[in-house]
Amino acid sequence: MTTIARRTQAGWGSTVVGIVILAVLLFPIYWMVNVSLQPGGSAVGTPWLPLDLSFDGYATALGQQGRNLVTSLVVALGSVVFSLLIAMPAAYALAQFKVRFAGAFLFGILISQMIPGIVIANALYTAYNDLGLLNSVPGLILADSTAGIPFAILIVRAFMTNIPPAVLEAGRVDGAGHVRTFVSIVLPMSRNALITAALFTFLFSWADFLFALTLTTTEDVRPVTLGLYTYIGTYVNDWSSVMATAVLASIPAIVLLVVAQRYVAAGTTAGAVK
């Protein structure tokens, strides 16, 4: 009985500690939502509970930041599509074909991830200025894809190398070429890796601030991250609108994480060869 009691107490203790840690981690999110539901004013004097609910902050945020939210959504989705169109065939070739200098190519991809973003942004600014891509949605999509494509190649290739060769050989026996094998067999089997790469590419693009700050100089094309940055300076005395914008900017990422969480873990190919 003593051992059982000790185990029970240890279990309750671990639960309490876990709840405390979770509460500390989630408190900034709660405070952001709480302030966004206040009538307005300074965040310092905000009550702990939103007893006097007001959605004026959300009305202001949607009216003045709605266009920026749409811009961020278009850029993020465009970056996902463009990154996967480039990364998926490249990952398949590196995983299944005997490509010369494949190791050096992968090493170069890893090195590219270590280059500071400001260096890439400054280089892109000069090129974009000559090509007329500044203050454009395609320009931001290309810029954000510089982070999405290498990451997607590494993630998807690691999965595709584990695809049983017998599966691909069975497709070739049935008369499928490389393209049909890739589209009809490899892509469906790589669903989890594909979703993982798409999710993180979306998050990279959605949270981008550096490229948005460097490659946009007008209000015509302005992602919500940059809009929120300029919003703080304008509405620093009305934190409900600022926090409402932050809440709206967090919703797409939260929804995607909740929906795709069961696909993020690398899938297995068990039972594929039957």
Domain residue extents for the chain: 65-264
Q: What percent of the chain has pLDDT over 90?
A: 31
Task: Give the number of residues written for the chain.
Answer: 274
Examine the pLDDT at 41 and tell me if it is beyond 50. Answer: yes
CA dihedral sign, ordered 77, 79, 81, 87: negative
Q: What is the pLDDT of residues 171-182, one digit of tens each?
A: 777 777 778 888
Mean pLDDT of 120-144: 93
- In angstroms, the CA 29 to CA 264 distance is 23
Quote the crossing angle between the two packed helices 239-264 and 191-206, to the nearest 10°: 160
Taking CB atoms within 8 Å and a gap of at least 24, the contacts of 126-132 are 128/215
The pTM score is: 0.85
Query: Of 235 and 160, which is predicted with more confidence?
Result: 160
The CATH fold of domain 65-264: MetI-like fold (1.10.3720)
Vertex 238 angle, CA 232 and 239, to 5°: 65
Supply 193's token pair.
């890796």
* Helix, strand, or coil (residue 157): helix
In the prediction, which pLDDT does 198 show?
92
- In angstroms, the CA 28 to CA 77 distance is 28
Report the 10 Å Cβ neighbour count for 146. 19
Q: What percent of the chain has pLDDT over 70?
A: 88
Number of H helices, E strands in the chain: 12, 0
Hey, which of 77-91, 93-107, 114-128, 234-248 has the most confident mean pLDDT? 77-91
Examine the pLDDT at 266 and tell me if it is beyond 60. Answer: no
Examine the pLDDT at 242 and tell me if it is beyond 60. Answer: yes
* Helix, strand, or coil (residue 112): helix
Up-side HSE of residue 202: CA atoms within 13 Å toward CB?
A: 19
In the prediction, which pLDDT does 267 show?
43
Supply 1's token pair.
């009985």
Q: What is the pLDDT of residues 51-70, one digit of tens each?
A: 788 888 899 889 989 999 99
Rg of the chain (C-alpha set): 24
Question: Any idea which of 185-194, 197-206, 211-220, 255-264 has the lowest mean pLDDT?
Answer: 255-264
In the prediction, which pLDDT does 209 show?
92
Question: Band of the pLDDT at 116, cuts 50, 70, 90?
Answer: confident
